[in-house]
Structure 1
């Protein structure tokens, strides 16, 4: 009776393991995640839901679902039935907009991500160019990457204005000067605290906004990791900002 060569047997096992690993990785990569869901079927396909490659989404009129897979997004609009794993025809690399959005340090360009000529009007829906900039128009929970370098951001840089920040027991005022749409959070007089409500008023706001901070253990490197983290921590304004950037990358 002959026995298989031990070296060949080990080689065969290694090859089988490699094939299995590729199959598992392919299966994981094929999984899609719902990153935005609006319309009548939103409860059926909630934000954060993970979809298998065999799943199908049935949408009615008014539905819009944004799926993310391997760092790319696909927008589905109802009515219709769609496969969760259809090919996504977008660039394999992140767009410049998404790269700036995920940068570790806020990219503080003089015009905050857009440029205008003399007499041009600022876009009403201008978006902060980085996840870690606090757009103080946006109420809700904000994930803070580094409390020491937290920056406030406004879309309109024309005119001097003052933003008042208040907690239950203290107040601080931040001056935003003409020509600038960035200003550092006043850490000396109003240190960043987690789980505390900050009421922001003035500064061009139509009505006061309440913001609450939560800590980030580490800043993610990829859109998938970022979206997972923002969903887990409930940082909806930043999540919406990132999904918008990804969707623009898809449209481009």
Structure 2
């Protein structure tokens, strides 16, 4: 075999290896995870299910499944049969939304990106602008990144209000003044303890809310990692908040 022939063969093998590497990476990245499942088939595709690229989802009328793939969401609505993976267009809004929702940096004690009018008109539909803010309207388990900086959040900024917090016979009152929708958890009088129920009342709540804290630990570098931990620890309110924000970005920007 001549020298040019050997060189061409090496180039061919290198190119083939590169193609295989790209194909393998694409296959790995193409895996999807169910992050929300509602409707008659919810039990068939529960939240947290990992799907291979060859899997199919058979949905009936009323089904809605939200898949997460490569940090983006894809919403499937029944009836119909769908592949577990699909082309999801790049969406700058999605990336910005994920960054904002999972940021653990300092939180501005302001309107959180929402207009005063919008909050006043439909406060029930207003979502906290970050996963680590404690929306005191939400029952359930809450994953805490840093208990010393835990912030309470309300959906509007109008009027003075007082939130009553009670746990194990101890009580604390948190005042939120007109023009603010953030307030620090009262760590001095009622420190955050894990695995303990806290009863929240007042502050416009129609009925008391019960919250239980669990330690989040280090926040993963990827949205998939964060979703996995939120699922594993049962922090459903935060998971739902993140999925809602991602789904809205998906609908707005594709």
More helix by share: 2
Q: CA deviation at 1:121?
A: 2.4
What SS does the corresponding residue of 2:168 show, helix, strand or coil?
coil
> Given the superposition, is the C-alpha separation of residues 251 and 109 from structure 1 closer, same or farther in structure 2, using an over 3 Å criterion?
farther
| Alpha-carbon displacement from aligned partner over 1:178-209 (angstroms, at most 9, x marks no partner) | 11110000000000000000000111100000
Q: Look up the match of 1:99.
A: 99
Instruction: Report how far residue 26 of structure 1 moved.
Output: 2.5
Structure 1 segments unaligned to the other structure (5+ residues): 1-10
1:66 matched residue in structure 2: 66
Describe the SS at the equivalent of 1:245: helix
State the Cα distance separating 1:154 from its structure 2 match.
0.3
Moved runs in structure 1, 4+ residues, more than 4 A? Answer: 11-23, 117-120
Change over 3 Å in CA distance of 1:114–1:206 after alignment to 2: same
Output the TM-score relative to the length of structure 1.
0.89
What are the superposed Cα offsets for residues 7-27 of structure 1, whole Å, 9 maximum, x if unpaired? xxxx99999877665444322
Q: CA deviation at 1:68?
A: 0.5
SS at match of 2:44: coil
The answer (yes or no) to whether the contact 1:90–1:250 under 8 Å persists in 2 is no
Per-residue deviation, residues 52-105 of structure 1 (Å, max 9, x unmatched): 111110101100000010001110001111111121134167443322111112
Q: Distance in 2 between matches of 1:133 and 1:66?
A: 24
> Secondary structure of the residue that 1:35 maps to in structure 2?
strand
Q: Which runs of 5+ in 2 are unaligned?
A: 1-10
Secondary structure, in 3 states, of the residue corresponding to 2:148?
Answer: helix
TM-score, length basis structure 2: 0.88
User: Match for residue 6 of structure 2?
Assistant: none
Tell me, in whole angstroms, the C-alpha distance in 1 between the residues paired with 2:100 and 2:136: 19
Cα shift at 1:118: 10
